[in-house]
Amino acid sequence: MKILGDRNYALIEIGAKGCGTYEPCEILPFFEEQLYIDEAEEVTAFLQWCHDNDKAFGHGNYEERFAEFKAATAPDAGKDYEPGSGEYNDMMFGDSPDS
């Protein structure tokens, strides 16, 4: 999935309003049978990530929060930069040719 989508947000909203949380175990019973099979696993992972990281969202920012989730859970997410491996690091660690 590239975006969460209006439909999935509307389903999540039903459970979140009823329970006051994004914890999948609590809100999925409200709407899990209405999720498309190919999206259910990612929606569940998104909700778990929001719950674990204390990330809330609403009608105005759910796509931004989903993009944040996608970036945080991408295969190369969380890799640290090594000094000297790029322009940003050269600038931060004083390895530029001007120093």
What's the pTM?
0.75
Among 55, 59, 9, residue whose Cα is nearest residue 35:
9
How many independent structural domains does the chain possess?
1
In this prediction, residue 79 carries a pLDDT of 55
Contacts of 72 (CB under 8 A, 6+ apart): 49, 53, 78
Q: Say if residue 25's pLDDT is above 70.
A: yes
Interval 38-97: pLDDT, tens: 999 999 999 999 999 999 999 999 999 999 999 999 887 655 444 444 443 333 344 444
Residue 91 lies in domain: 1-99
Q: What is the secondary structure of 49-98 as a DSSP string?
A: HHHHTT----TTTHHHHHHHHHHHHSTTTTPPPPTTSSHHHHHHHT-STT
